[in-house]
Structure formats: structure tokens, C-alpha cells
Amino acid sequence: MFGLETKDAKLLLLVVALTMLAPFLLNPFPVDSAMAQFNAGYPDLMQRFVIFGIFAIGFNILFGLTGYLSFGHAAFLGVGSYAAVWMFKLLSMNVLPAIVLAVITSGLFALLIGYISLRRSGIYFSILTLAFAQMMFALAYSVLTPITGGETGLQLALDDPRILGTSATAEGNIPVPGLFGLEMRDTTEVAMGVWSFTFNVGYYFSAVIMLLAFYLSIRIFRSPFGMMLRAIKSNQTRLNYTGLNTKPYTLAAFVISGMYAGLAGALMASMDPLAGAERMFWTASGEVVLMTILGGVGTLIGPVLGAGAIKYMENIISKINSEILHSWFAFLPDGFEDFIVAIIYPFVGKGWHLTLGIIFMLVVTFLPGGLVEGGQRIAKLFKGKKADANGPKGKTEPAE
């Protein structure tokens, strides 16, 4: 199916189901309930899930397959955003040309940076990519202000010379990004009893792009090219001794990964037509590293899970304040209620990074394969219990 093996096809169908049904799956609690705080089915957050999922999928092609750890991948995210916004300003508000330009531009930057950085490996490669990203951040923040907008960012304006579109709407407002008449911000809310579900054009457009990116990553992982990248990760020195030049393969992986990042940046600009230098800062590069490791380096679905987990904590757990905690534990005696809130509060709200750090530490220590390994262990546990319940099927235990 789809040119994939059965296992990969099932995984793709699972991801399709999760993304298409996300408005239902991410809103499990009634709107008026105390647990509605944990609902994540609103457009902005759902868009972040899939966009950063694309970013992490692309990073995993480089880090997961070749073992080359880049600390500067956010540079391509920022380049993609800037290219998309310039396309909106100069050509039209259609998101497709903006995405194409962003991917091409990011790929060219990745080709240049990768060609230089890949002359070194290990920590030296990581430091080189970090240096390039910080240089690009500094240029975007100050030197290239006429092109990037400096610290205020690159934004749309009413006087933009848009060739294939209007500079202003009939109401005198700036046009919004769209796709052949469909605006990315168009949203429909459906109420079903005590539940409310939101369906957004921008989310589903981004979700379809993510599914295509995920499918392409599967094909890369299973291709001879992917096998060569795994061989490079396993023992690049041995491959060099055989006379094989590995640099074209690592450079190709770096460029593909950068193009994925540019695609994510273009989608960010398509959802909110603004590009700022902060998207290129080193913390953004570190975030995608955390997403990939948390989900499972070298796995197919792991980076998507890691991106979703971190963005969920950033947007949901960070909003839990002391008032919400007191409302949850109001049934307890006053003194005991204050005690419980005092214990939990440092781990939520502004302290959500502490919770993330603890989770990351536990995953690295006990689940080196990330969340994917955790899911595999749980699946094996249930399979083992089912096998025990069915009894032996003609198999004998070896003598000790």
C-alpha cells in the first residue's frame, strides 16, 4: 500500500487518523468542566503540533540516520519564514508559492552551510552549525534590518506591491494568507452536547503537508540512500577505508533536513504572516533536539510525538496557575489544600520547564528510545499477559 511495507503503511494510516481526528481527540473534556484546562483542540496549538512535527521529522533525517547533531537548524526555520513573508509581500497571498520559495531558499542555505560544516564531525560539526545559526540570527536582528525588519520582525503592510493580489481588502485591511479562496484562518465550531470542536482550514492544510512530509521520510528511511546514511552513522571511518566518499550522502541529508525546516518556517508564516529573528535563536535549535530525543531518535513517529509533547506542555501545563490549582483541591481542608498547591505549583505555570526537564531526564535514563520505546514496552507487556492467559502453544522451555 502506497509503495510501503505493511508495517509502515499501518503506521502511516495511524498518523493520518490521529491528525484528521485531532479536533475530537484533543478535546476530550466538556467545555464547562474543570478538566477543560487540558483540552488542546484549538487551531493555534493544533497548527503548532503539526508544524513542529515537520521540523522534527526533518531534523531526525539528519540526526537519526547519520548521527550528525546540528545545533543550528533553527536558522533554516527562520530563512523559510522570511522567504514566505517576502513572497506574500511581493507576489500574492497564496500560500503555495510562498512554501515553494521557502523550501528552495532554505535548501540553498543548507547546501552552503552544510558544505562547510560537514568538513568536520562530532562536536566540531555541532559547534560550526551553532556558530552559523548565531551569525544568521545576528544578521537578521541588526545588519539586515531592511530585509528582515530587525527586532520588530518582517510584517505585511498596506503599501506592499503585491503583483498578483490586492494590497488591501475592501474594508481597508491587510489580506490574509489563503489557498485559492480559502483563508487559513477560516474556522468552524461544532457543538455536540457539552463538547465543542473546532475545525480550522489552516490546521488541515498544515496536517496534509505534514502527512506528505511523513510519507517522504518513510520512503527515505527505507531507501538505499537511507541504508547508506545508517551505515555512515554506524561506522563512517570503515566506509572511508573502503574507498567510499560519504560526504555527498551526509550533505544530501543535511540539505533535505534544512528543506524540511524551511517548510515548517513557511507554514508558520502562512498561519501568522510574521517573521522574526527569534525563530533563528539557538534555543529554537535546542528545542528541536529535545523533541527528537524525547520522541525517539531514529524512529519514524518519535519526532512527531516529541514535538506534540513539548508543545502541549508549553501551551497547556504552563497556563495552570495557583487559582486553578486551588479550584481543583477546594474540597480539601484549607491547610492541607494550601500544602498540596504549594508542592505542585513549582512544576506548573512558569515552572513547566522543571517538569519538562524531569521528564527528559527520566526518558534519557530509562527509555533511551524515547516515547516510542515506552509504547513498545507497554505493547509487549500486554502481549505477554495475553500470551500467559492463552497458555502455552506447543512450545517447551529450554532446560537450564
Q: What is the per-residue pLDDT across 21-72, written as a single tens digit (0 to 9) for each?
A: 999 999 888 888 878 888 888 889 999 999 999 999 999 999 999 999 999 9
Per-residue cell: 353: 520547564
- Pull the grid cell for residue 19: 491528525
**8 A C-beta contact, residue 108 and residue 275:** no
Q: How many domains does the chain have?
A: 1
Task: Please write the tens of the pLDDT for every residue from 139-154.
Answer: 999 889 989 988 888 9
What does the chain come to in residues?
400
- The pLDDT of 390-394, averaged and rounded, is 57
Of 3-12, 262-271, 323-332, 367-376, which has the strongest mean pLDDT?
A: 262-271
pLDDT in tens, 212-235: 999 999 999 999 999 999 999 998
Domain annotation covers residue 71: yes
Q: pLDDT at position 398, please?
A: 46
Mean pLDDT of 242-262: 94
Q: DSSP letter string over 27-86?
A: --S-TTSGGGGG---SHHHHHHHHHHHHHHHHHHHHHHHH----S-THHHHHHHHHHHHH
102: left (phi over 0), alpha (psi -120 to 50) or beta: alpha
Query: Would 138 be classed as within a structural domain?
Result: yes
Q: 3-class DSSP state for residue 120?
A: coil
- How far, in Å, CA of 99 to CA of 245, rounded? 33
Residue 323 in this model has a pLDDT that exceeds 90: no
- 199 occurs within a structural domain: yes
Q: Which domain holds residue 139?
A: 6-282
The upper half-sphere exposure of residue 184, i.e. CA atoms within 13 Å in the direction of its Cβ, equals 23
Rg (CA), the chain: 23
Q: Does residue 395 lie in a domain region?
A: no
Looking at the domain assignment, is residue 364 inside a domain?
no
